[in-house]
Amino acid sequence: MAEGENKGLVLLDFWVSPFGQRCRIALAEKGVEYEYREENLRDKSPLLLKSNPVHKKIPVLIHDGKPVCESLIIVQYIDEAWPDRAPLLPADSYARAQARFWADLVDKKMYESGTKLWKLKGEAQEEAKKEFIEILKLLEGELGDKKYFGGDTFGLVDIALVPFTAWFYSYEACANLSAEKEAPKLVPWVKRCRERESVSKSLPDPLKVYEFVCFLKKLCSWHVNGHLCRPEYIVGGFRHGRLTSFVG
């Protein structure tokens, strides 16, 4: 049993993180109240370090003092902890397996591939673009003519993917890649998702995302190594979408 002071929901998050946004969307879909706490990723809170000692990453959802980590695991937890409303996964076990497969694909592919688009240049960037377009087309094919990836109901795959749409502007600006042109069938889906309050309230302004990406690019040009820059290792200078200090 949790002590009184530990009751309720806390989401440890970072404003631009698509993974954090997934959790915000899920919580909003369920209409559940929670406390949002912005983490400074260069100066992680003791609560974050205690709640996710293995990875020390956001998002972390703390429910009555008990932490849940990994965004897709958090979304499924939210779905199972509030089963009485707004189901995020289908009832049928085969359909659930399909949803998990596609959400997992988004997880495996979108972040790494998207990061390459703004981080790399020249030939490497062209390769990254080809890769990214392939992923978009794959997703476009899977969506088909459906309202959402799961059919008529907004769910896990939509939640997994939609936060990355806030980065489309940045991909176009940095890599001259228009997601809308490459995967036009996704456009009505994006619009449909953004019409949901859970989504429109959780996703950042694409221009702010671009500002953030430009900041990261500057940082990455100061870090000479072959690794993909992960925001969580670098960022501390961004708070609430405004640049407050530089790192490095």
Partner 1 sequence: MAAAALIGGWPSPFVLRARVALNLKGVEYEFLQEKYGEKSELLLRSNPVYKKVPVLLHHDKPVCESMIIVEYVDAAWAKSGQAILPADPYERALHRFWAVYIDDKVRMPPSISDLLVPSMFGIAKAQTEEAKAESVEQAWAALKLLEEAFEKLSKGKAFFGGGTIGYVDIALGAYLGWAKVIEQMAGLKLFDEEKTPLLAVWAERFCAHEAVKEVMPETEKLMEFAKMRLGK
Catalog residues that contact partner 1 under the rule CB under 8 A. Answer: 54, 63, 66, 68-70, 73-74, 76-77, 80-81, 93-94, 96-97, 100-101, 104-105, 138
- For residues 35 and 81, is the Cβ–Cβ distance under 8 A? no
Positive/negative CA dihedral, 208, 159, 56, 6: positive
- For residues 58 and 33, is the Cβ–Cβ distance under 8 A? no
Minimum CB distance to partner 1, residue 83 (Å): 8
Give dist(CA 61, CA 26) in Å, integer: 11
- Considering the complex, state which of residue 161 and residue 174 has its C-beta at the smaller distance from partner 1: 161
Minimum CB distance to partner 1, residue 19 (Å): 13
- Considering the complex, state which of residue 73 and residue 243 has its C-beta at the smaller distance from partner 1: 73
- Considering the complex, state which of residue 36 and residue 77 has its C-beta at the smaller distance from partner 1: 77
- Considering the complex, state which of residue 1 and residue 54 has its C-beta at the smaller distance from partner 1: 54
Q: What is the CA radius of gyration of the chain?
A: 18
Minimum CB distance to partner 1, residue 98 (Å): 8
Minimum CB distance to partner 1, residue 75 (Å): 10
Query: Which stretches within the chain are classed as H helix?
Result: 18-29, 46-51, 71-81, 93-119, 122-143, 156-161, 168-175, 179-182, 186-194, 197-202, 206-222, 231-234
- Considering the complex, state which of residue 105 and residue 173 has its C-beta at the smaller distance from partner 1: 105
State the amino acid at position 129 in one-letter form: K
- Considering the complex, state which of residue 90 and residue 241 has its C-beta at the smaller distance from partner 1: 90
Minimum CB distance to partner 1, residue 41 (Å): 20
Give dist(CA 10, CA 125) in Å, integer: 38
Give dist(CA 19, CA 11) in Å, integer: 12
Minimum CB distance to partner 1, residue 173 (Å): 29
Minimum CB distance to partner 1, residue 45 (Å): 20
- Considering the complex, state which of residue 37 and residue 100 has its C-beta at the smaller distance from partner 1: 100
- Residue 206: phi and psi, rounded to 5, are -55, -30
Q: How many CA atoms lie within 13 A of 120 on its CB side?
A: 18
Give dist(CA 186, CA 168) in Å, integer: 12
